Amino acid sequence: MKLRNILFLGLPAIVLWVAGIFVLGIFLIKWFWMWTIPALFPKAVDAGYVAGVISWWTALKLSVLVALLAAITNISKS
């Protein structure tokens, strides 16, 4: 299904932007976690205290949390 067809279904463009940002956030969080956490905390990863790789579901939850914290920060500034 092409993007043009999705927009003609009545879905507003902002919904697509928000979904795209969440998907991008999920990929960035998974990438960031995979590269930084084992490098910064190798003993904790080896001991099993911290996961070296996170699941897609956990990345989604972290992405939502980051978005909510950003929204709260933005609202509190204005």
The neighbour count for residue 1, using CB atoms within 10 Å, is: 6
pLDDT over 60 at 1, yes or no: no
Quick one: pLDDT at residue 47? 92
Pair 34, 53: CB distance under 8 Å: yes
CA gap 26, 63 in Å, rounded: 6
Express each pLDDT in 7-63 by its tens digit: 565 566 666 777 777 788 888 888 888 899 899 999 999 998 988 888 889 888 888
Q: What are the distances in angstroms from CA 31 to CA 2, 23, 24, 66?
A: 28, 12, 11, 15
Cβ contacts of residue 21 below 8 Å, gap of 6+? Answer: 67
Estimate to the nearest angstrom the gap between the alpha carbon of 60 and the chain centroid: 5
